[in-house]
Amino acid sequence: MLLSVAVLFGKAEDVNHSATSFDIVEPINKALYTGERATFVIKVLSKEIDRLVIVQDEGTTEEIKVLPTKRTYCKTINLHVGDNSIQVQSYHGTTLIESRATELYFLSELFEGLDDEPEGFKRYYFHTDNEENGCKACHNMTSNVPTDGEPFEDVTKTTCYECHHGMLNTKNTHAPAANWLCLDCHDGKIGEYNMQDEGKSKYLVRDPVERNCDDCHDVLQEWHSKKYSHGPVNDGHCIRCHNPHGSENEFFLRKSIWDLCTTCHAEKATGKHIVSSFVFARNKGVHPTKGPKDPARPEQSFACSSCHNPHGSDGIFLLRMKGTMPFNVCNRCHKK
């Protein structure tokens, strides 16, 4: 009865607040993520609760046992691309006490048609003094990562590992990340490099990130001098295709090569390619674009990048060839 009066007079929030059994400290509702992991930090407020459950919209659930002596619970979950609707539920036995919704958005430039930010969501950074203050009681928030490039003897002792260890559970991991030399890239160098985000996080990377990559790979001078360069490489955003930490795919790519290329070049997914003009084959002028083995590079599978260089080339259409005529590329695998 009291509740409905309060609702009528617009005081529903006060009533809900007093009935709240937990607080969600992190994340902020309607936050925009550029990575697939989001951390929930939940503070239990009611002694009644013995279980928390995080329910994701695709059905994944994460159970957390609540102990009488412990109030704060931290759990990192994996987001899927796009809008994620997540419920945090508190239970006493099998009785649901409370359920609260959080909406998060994982924006991947690769999957979501480049830079379109969804309406109503905001990019937010965690590593500011303000946000980190709430964690200091239990976590070491100093960046005890050496910047001299020397590997750690025990990476599990680094401060970053404590919170980000789930990040590298992938088949292939990129050496500097696998060795937890996180600050090799997250050097927070702003100024000249990253004016736009200055002061937003301690662990920014340079913008464009290709400058970080070039520190070790030293490829830009060569690639930028090629006659033809690839659209998505030109703006220096290497991580559109590569995950800088690691991935299930070769070369730490965000998708397998064929899937990656056809994400943006969808018309090539039909299998109709280098049609008629060159290929007078059994299969009516259609050249295969994938297969188990690249004849020119037997250690790799056959895919788009067997014929095209994904970064740049002196050959037209980014073809891996000498000379100027596209059919010169055929010699790579079909020697007469």
Rounded Cα distance between 256 and 269, Å, is: 13
| Contact yes or no for 261/252 (Cβ under 8 A) | no
Taken in order 44, 48, 51, 56, is the CA torsion positive or negative? negative
- CB-nearer residue toward ligand HEC: 12 or 138: 138
By CB under 6 A, is residue 78 in contact with ligand HEC?
no
- CB-nearer residue toward ligand HEC: 87 or 328: 328
Closest approach of Cβ 321 to ligand HEC, in Å? 8
Rounded Cα distance between 141 and 203, Å, is: 12
Residue in 127, 189, 226, 272 binding ligand HEC, rule: CB under 6 A: 127
Binding mask 228-247 for ligand HEC (x = CB under 6 A): --xxxx--x-xxxxx-xx--
Residue in 105, 108, 260, 315 binding ligand HEC, rule: CB under 6 A: 260
Residue whose CB is nearest to ligand HEC in the complex, by number: 35
Rounded Cα distance between 22 and 100, Å, is: 10
Closest approach of Cβ 220 to ligand HEC, in Å? 6
- CB-nearer residue toward ligand HEC: 3 or 149: 149
Residue recorded with tokens 């100093």: 142
Rounded Cα distance between 50 and 30, Å, is: 28
Closest approach of Cβ 11 to ligand HEC, in Å? 29
Closest approach of Cβ 289 to ligand HEC, in Å? 4
Judged by CB under 6 A, the stretch of 49-57, 82-90, 91-99, 299-307 that binds ligand HEC is 299-307
By CB under 6 A, is residue 211 in contact with ligand HEC?
no
Residue in 209, 249, 312, 315 binding ligand HEC, rule: CB under 6 A: 209
By CB under 6 A, is residue 326 in contact with ligand HEC?
yes
Rounded Cα distance between 307 and 319, Å, is: 6
Rounded Cα distance between 108 and 95, Å, is: 38
CA dihedral 27, 253, 241, 124 (to 10 degrees): 10
Measured CA distances, 55 to 18, 86, 103 (Å): 24, 6, 12
Closest approach of Cβ 301 to ligand HEC, in Å? 9
Question: Which 160-179 residues touch ligand HEC, going by CB under 6 A?
Answer: 160, 162-164, 166-167, 174-177
List CB contacts of 264: < 8 A, sequence separation 6 or more. 232
- CB-nearer residue toward ligand HEC: 48 or 259: 259
Judged by CB under 6 A, the stretch of 8-16, 50-58, 94-102, 270-278 that binds ligand HEC is 270-278
Rounded Cα distance between 262 and 289, Å, is: 11
- CB-nearer residue toward ligand HEC: 98 or 161: 161
71: which 2 tokens?
Answer: 């109030």
